[in-house]
Structure 1
Amino acid sequence: MTHAHRGQRHGIATRLPTTPAKLWGTLVGLGIVWAAAYWVNSWVWDLFFDNVLRMDPSSRLTGALHFFCYDVIKIGLLLSGIVFLVTILRSYMSIERTRALLGGRREGVGNVAAASLGVVTPFCSCSAVPAFIGFVAAGVPLGVTLSFLIASPLVNEVAIGLLLSLFGVKITALYVGSGLFIAITAGWLLGRMRLERWVEPFVFETRLDGQVIDATSGLTFEQRVRMGIEEVGSILRRIGPYLLVGIGIGAAIHGWAPEDLFTRYAGPGAVIGVPLAVLVGIPLYSNAAGILPLVESLHDKGMPMGTLLAFMMAVVALSLPEMILLRQVLKIQLLAIYVAVVGLSIIAVGYLFNAVLA
Structure 2
Amino acid sequence: MNIFSWLNDQLLKMKWLWNLVELLVEKVFKLSMETRVGGSIHFFIYDTIKIFILLSVMIFIISFIQSYFPPERTKKIIGRFKGLKGNIFGALLGTVTPFCSCSSIPIFIGFVSAGLPLGATFSFLISSPMIDLASLMLLMSFFGTKVGTVYVAVGLVVAVIGGVLINRLRMEKYVESYVWGVENVDIEIEELTRKDRIEFAKSQVKEIVGRVWPYILIGVGIGAGIHNWVPQSIIEKVLGEGNPFSVLIATFIGIPIYADIFGTIPIAEALIAKGVGIGTVISFMMGVTTLSIPSLVMLSKVVKPKLLATFVAIVTLGIIIVGYGLNGLSFLLI
Q: Identify the TM-score tier after normalising by the shorter chain.
A: 0.5 to 0.7
Which residue identity is paired with 1:355?
G
Shift of 1:144: 0.4
Matches of residues 130-149 of structure 1 in structure 2 within 5 Å? 130-149=106-125
Partner of 1:159: 135
Shift of 1:268: 2.2
* C-alpha distance in structure 2 between counterparts of 1:142 and 1:101, whole Å: 11
Over the aligned positions, Cα root-mean-square deviation in angstroms equals 3.0
Scaled by the length of structure 2, the TM-score of the pair is 0.61
1:148 to 1:216, Cα distance in 2 relative to 1, 3 A: closer
Which residue identity is paired with 1:154?
M
C-alpha contact (below 8 Å) 1:262/1:277 kept by paired residues: no
Partner of 2:205: none
Which residue identity is paired with 1:302?
G
Partner of 1:290: 263
* C-alpha distance in structure 1 between counterparts of 2:301 and 2:104, whole Å: 14
Does residue 314 of the first structure (1) align with residue 290 of the second (2)? no
Partner of 1:349: 322
Which residue identity is paired with 2:266?
P
Q: 1:301 is matched with which residue: 274, 278, 288?
A: 274
Which residue identity is paired with 1:278?
T
Matches of residues 213-292 of structure 1 in structure 2 within 5 Å? 263-292=236-265
Q: Look up the SS of the partner of 2:144 in the other structure.
A: helix
1:206 to 1:287, Cα distance in 2 relative to 1, 3 A: closer
1:171 to 1:99, Cα distance in 2 relative to 1, 3 A: closer
Partner of 1:173: 149
Shift of 1:288: 1.3
* C-alpha distance in structure 2 between counterparts of 1:344 and 1:337, whole Å: 11
Shift of 1:174: 1.2
* C-alpha distance in structure 1 between counterparts of 2:90 and 2:254, whole Å: 25
Partner of 1:123: 99
1:99 to 1:304, Cα distance in 2 relative to 1, 3 A: closer
Shift of 1:265: 1.8
Scaled by the length of structure 1, the TM-score of the pair is 0.58
C-alpha contact (below 8 Å) 1:129/1:149 kept by paired residues: yes
Partner of 1:76: none
Matches of residues 46-195 of structure 1 in structure 2 within 5 Å? 101-102=79-80, 106-195=82-171
* C-alpha distance in structure 1 between counterparts of 2:271 and 2:143, whole Å: 13
C-alpha contact (below 8 Å) 2:108/2:125 kept by paired residues: yes
Shift of 1:264: 3.5
Identity %: 41
Unaligned runs of 5+ in 2: 1-69, 188-210
Name the count of aligned residue pairs: 225
* C-alpha distance in structure 1 between counterparts of 2:169 and 2:182, whole Å: 25
* C-alpha distance in structure 2 between counterparts of 1:147 and 1:180, whole Å: 8
Shift of 1:158: 1.5
* C-alpha distance in structure 2 between counterparts of 1:321 and 1:145, whole Å: 19
Partner of 2:311: 338
Which residue identity is paired with 2:258?
Y
Which residue identity is paired with 1:310?
S
Partner of 2:173: 197
* C-alpha distance in structure 2 between counterparts of 1:200 and 1:292, whole Å: 35
Shift of 1:100: 11
Deviation per CA, 1:111-163: give whole Å up to 9, x if none: 11111111110111111111111111111111100000011111101210111
C-alpha contact (below 8 Å) 1:102/1:140 kept by paired residues: no
Q: Look up the SS of the partner of 1:269 in the other structure.
A: coil
* C-alpha distance in structure 1 between counterparts of 2:298 and 2:222, whole Å: 23
Unaligned runs of 5+ in 1: 1-84, 208-214, 222-246
